[in-house]
Chain A
């Protein structure tokens, strides 16, 4: 065999020969050498993030104390009484002498307008407006309803009562004399006290003018609206996947496909102070103090940058809700002129009934609420860059969130109006919402398949309302700092 033949034979045999090797291990080593310079910069972010997390947690631990502790809340409430309700002792208007009886005095909701303008009619107790017996002989079912809905239904035509009777018909004219109280609850019903009708020559029912009432007190007790807290939040999502921690790829199976299990904790500020003047819930101010969350996350990566995440987490949310609290409510039966019939010959027939006058006193009060929440998300997420073992990365995830929550409402006053009382716990309620979360941070491998993560996350989750056309937020606590540990297999 010549030298040339030997060389050619050796070249042919060795040049195209492929040695077997562990690609994953080789890539791990290459990547570790390629990106060593990021260590310093990452370490800075790491320590900065850790410091910020500690400060935030300390702040959260200290801040809620005065809200739930009592003294601060009590003093706030006392001021609230003085400031918001100067007319707590609500004088009873003497009866109109010309009518021979007390005048129905009802506080209009306009009086509360500064606090809680309007509430749905379904919240109104049925006794908050004068009872008007039906007068079948007059064919007037106008005042016969006992419910506020009924009033709304049957008394929209109050203005008709001011219509003078047609003499040529000789028919009676129905005239209604009451209803400030009702009008408050049914703003759509133009139901003021009718002005005297001199043209009919009849006596006029005198009543406190609505203006007087509106400057005083609310009439009807209402149910305090349920605070619209931003609700908790779904667990955090997977982020950058450190390749060195990736399991070996199976044959015909891309190595990026992997499962991961993580334990995560996060804490953050909730949303800023919000003032709302909602038609449904009235005027209130709501501030979320903060929340912390602890959960387990399970993820499956089906693409180098796409993954599906689920899990379960518990979240505690503290909120402060400022609204009007019912202090006292008194009901008094009073005779009231319900109908006045003016006949064609000038005769006047007045009918009286019994009305219920309600005097309610509200205080501007702060409530400190806790919210126990369990979240179960199902999210589809995109991550970029996907393969940084120790580097900054970001992700965007969206999907559905099952939210199970229990609200514990703390009122600022007990029965004596002094002590703090934290008691009322709602039942657990379930909601399904949708939303997204956007976050970023760093992840650092500490062992094989094990990495720790630290980052910041912004999230918004919404829930199509079950009882109104509006939708309100499920996820509160929009910005939080999170830390976690994840095992990938």
Chain B
């Protein structure tokens, strides 16, 4: 079943098409959901919620972008809606300067994607969200600020802190793996 057939079938309420959509896109969308949540059960819950919203609102898809991008945007939007705004602000207030450490690119390649996902998930919710929006989704600081209703400087600070924490965690994991190896 092609993507166009899936979309058309879902618009007509065909459950076979809906099921096909879930089967085809859920692996990618689950990765997106995991990046915005702290653990897998929460990510699966977010994914399920997002798929329901996508299937209910599939008529709003105009075909301007790729269908996968449209689905990803729904997952991200649902993740942002779940984000506790207070926690983001608390993380902003506790911002402090942290020393940056250089990461060996080769060592980064050696890490499994599952390891990287866990490191991202280990970040605080606000930091994780800002990091994902900026580094992975490609939003600008101003756009992220509008999404999260924060100041642009606050978003920059969040991203900086998230990146530093992530680099520290990666370095720590590299050292651990080198000791084990």
A31 at the interface (CB under 8 A from B): yes
Q: Which of A27, A304, A385 contacts B22 (CB 8 A)?
A: A27
Q: How far does the alpha carbon of A27 sit from the alpha carbon of B15 in the complex, in Å?
A: 10
Query: If the complex has contacts A9-B105, A10-B135, are A30 and B31 also in contact, measured as CB distance less than 8 A?
Result: no
Q: How far does the alpha carbon of A115 sit from the alpha carbon of B98 in the complex, in Å?
A: 109
Chain A: minimal CB distance from B34 (Å): 6
Which stretch of B43-51, B59-67, B78-86, B141-149 is in the interface? B43-51
A415 at the interface (CB under 8 A from B): no
Q: How far does the alpha carbon of A26 sit from the alpha carbon of B136 in the complex, in Å?
A: 25
B95 at the interface (CB under 8 A from A): no
Q: How far does the alpha carbon of A27 sit from the alpha carbon of B19 in the complex, in Å?
A: 6
Total CB contacts across the A-B interface at under 8 A: 94
Determine whether the beta carbon of A386 is less than 8 Å from that of B16: yes
CB-CB under 8 A from A33, the residues of chain B are 48, 52
Determine whether the beta carbon of A26 is less than 8 Å from that of B47: yes
Query: If the complex has contacts A21-B44, A385-B15, are A10 and B116 also in contact, measured as CB distance less than 8 A?
Result: yes
CB-CB under 8 A from B55, the residues of chain A are 30, 34
Q: How far does the alpha carbon of A9 sit from the alpha carbon of B104 in the complex, in Å?
A: 11
What is the predominant secondary structure among interface residues of chain B facing chain A? helix
Determine whether the beta carbon of A18 is less than 8 Å from that of B27: yes
CB-CB under 8 A from B166, the residues of chain A are 10
Of the candidates A1, A13, A30, A243, the one having the most CB atoms from chain B within 10 angstroms of its own CB is A30
Instruction: Give a binary string over A216-238; 1 marks a CB under 8 Å from any B CB, 0 the rest.
Output: 00000000000000000000000
Instruction: Give a binary string over A237-268; 1 marks a CB under 8 Å from any B CB, 0 the rest.
Output: 00000010000000000000000000000000
Count how many chain A residues have C-beta atoms less than 8 Å from C-beta atoms of the other chain: 31
Residues 145-170 of B contacting A (Cβ, < 8 Å): 163, 166-167
B71 at the interface (CB under 8 A from A): no
Q: How far does the alpha carbon of A10 sit from the alpha carbon of B163 in the complex, in Å?
A: 11
B35 at the interface (CB under 8 A from A): yes
Determine whether the beta carbon of A19 is less than 8 Å from that of B31: yes
Tell me the nearest residue of chain B to A388, going by C-beta: B15
Query: If the complex has contacts A3-B163, A13-B116, are A23 and B23 also in contact, measured as CB distance less than 8 A?
Result: yes
Q: How far does the alpha carbon of A4 sit from the alpha carbon of B120 in the complex, in Å?
A: 17
Residues 20-46 of B contacting A (Cβ, < 8 Å): 22-23, 26-28, 30-31, 34-35, 44
20 A-B residue pairings within 8 Å (CB atoms): A1-B104, A1-B105, A3-B163, A6-B103, A6-B167, A9-B108, A13-B116, A19-B34, A21-B44, A23-B22, A23-B26, A26-B22, A26-B47, A27-B23, A30-B48, A30-B52, A30-B55, A34-B52, A34-B55, A387-B16
4 tightest Cβ-Cβ pairs between the two chains A and B: A18-B27, A387-B15, A19-B30, A7-B135
Q: Which residues of B contact A (CB under 8 A)?
A: 14-16, 18-19, 22-23, 26-28, 30-31, 34-35, 44, 47-48, 51-52, 55-56, 102-105, 108-109, 111, 113, 116-117, 120, 134-136, 138, 163, 166-167
Q: Which residues of A contact B (CB under 8 A)?
A: 1, 3, 5-7, 9-11, 13-21, 23, 26-27, 29-31, 33-34, 243, 304, 385-388
